[in-house]
């Protein structure tokens, strides 16, 4: 599996040779640096840990400095692990991975933290249709309706879809196509939308 950490820069559109427009997301993908190599003998599984986006020194604590220092690097804001990472050359501590590990036309999964929406009702959060507009239902148009049962079980089931805090969760968009790769600037242009706000960090996996 190949993957990289990136930052969502925003959305725009591009045109193909026939003049058809496609909505795309622009992502700054890498460079990511190897901060740790985990092995089955030492850690119980094989994985490669990457760091992305250098962290300010005044915001860094001693454990973070020590962890990055073992690889001869500065601390990073984001650390992510990739199991069974595919690479043409053996990865070593301190080596880098850039956007050129991907090619145009490849299909990837993109994971990010969705935008926080705060407290939301059931119509917005769970796409309920709401109550009827007639028969005296003047204040029930966006209400969830009945939550429980009658004499049995006389309680609300756990996990019932109700109003509450919405967003701020890990979301994965699958089978997105890479339309363009700019290796010089470490830019990936991916068709469609990816989770999160602009300047949010995302995980791109083949």
Based on the domain organization, do 1 and 50 belong to the same domain?
A: no
Residue 46 pLDDT class (50, 70, 90 cuts): confident
Q: What is the rounded distance in angstroms from the CA atom of residue 151 to the CA atom of residue 65?
A: 60
Residue 3 pLDDT class (50, 70, 90 cuts): confident
Share of the chain above pLDDT 90, in %: 43
Q: What is the rounded distance in angstroms from the CA atom of residue 191 to the CA atom of residue 13?
A: 9
Based on the domain organization, do 111 and 44 belong to the same domain?
A: no
In-domain check, residue 150: no
Based on the domain organization, do 78 and 4 belong to the same domain?
A: no
pTM of the model: 0.82
CATH number reported for the structural domain that contains residue 6 in this entry? 2.40.30.10
Based on the domain organization, do 88 and 119 belong to the same domain?
A: no
Based on the domain organization, do 81 and 105 belong to the same domain?
A: no
| Each residue's pLDDT tens digit, 7-38 | 999 999 999 888 899 999 999 997 999 988 88
Based on the domain organization, do 90 and 119 belong to the same domain?
A: no
| Each residue's pLDDT tens digit, 163-175 | 999 999 999 999 9
Based on the domain organization, do 35 and 116 belong to the same domain?
A: no
| Non-local CB neighbours of 134 within 8 Å, separated by 6+ positions | none
Q: What is the rounded distance in angstroms from the CA atom of residue 49 to the CA atom of residue 111?
A: 17
pLDDT value, residue 139: 82
CATH number reported for the structural domain that contains residue 38 in this entry? 3.30.160.810
CB 156 within 8 A of CB 147: yes
| Each residue's pLDDT tens digit, 104-162 | 889 999 999 999 999 999 999 999 988 888 888 878 889 888 887 778 888 888 999 99
Based on the domain organization, do 39 and 114 belong to the same domain?
A: no
Q: What is the rounded distance in angstroms from the CA atom of residue 105 to the CA atom of residue 190?
A: 10
pLDDT value, residue 155: 86
Last residue of a domain, one of 42, 73, 97: 97
Q: What is the rounded distance in angstroms from the CA atom of residue 65 to the CA atom of residue 82?
A: 22
pLDDT value, residue 197: 93
Based on the domain organization, do 18 and 73 belong to the same domain?
A: no
pLDDT value, residue 88: 66
The yes-or-no verdict on residue 90 having pLDDT over 80 is no
> Given phi > 0 = left and psi -120 to 50 = alpha, else beta, which region is 19?
left
Distance of CA 60 to the CA centre of its chain: 24
Number of domains in the chain: 2
Containing domain of residue 57, as a range? Answer: 31-97
């Amino acid at each position: 599996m190949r993957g990289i950490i990136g930052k969502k820069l925003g959305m725009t559109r591009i045109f193909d040779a026939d003049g058809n427009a496609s909505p795309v997301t622009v992502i700054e993908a890498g460079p990511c640096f190897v901060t740790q190599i985990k092995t089955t003998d030492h850690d119980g599984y094989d994985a490669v840990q990457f760091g992305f986006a250098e962290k300010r020194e005044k915001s860094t604590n001693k454990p973070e400095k020590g962890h990055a220092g073992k690889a001869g690097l500065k601390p990073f804001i984001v650390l992510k692990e990739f199991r069974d990472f595919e690479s043409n050359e053996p990865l070593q501590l301190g080596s880098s991975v850039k956007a050129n590990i991907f090619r145009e036309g490849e299909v990837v999964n993109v994971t990010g933290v969705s935008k926080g929406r705060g407290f939301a009702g059931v119509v917005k959060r769970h796409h309920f249709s709401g109550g009827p507009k007639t028969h005296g239902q003047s204040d029930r148009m966006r209400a969830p309706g009945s939550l429980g049962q009658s004499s049995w079980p006389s309680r609300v089931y756990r996990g019932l879809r109700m109003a509450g805090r919405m967003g701020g969760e890990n979301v994965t968009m699958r089978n997105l196509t890479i339309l363009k790769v700019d290796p010089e600037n470490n830019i990936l242009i991916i068709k469609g939308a990816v989770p999160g706000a602009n300047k949010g960090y995302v995980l791109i996996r083949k």
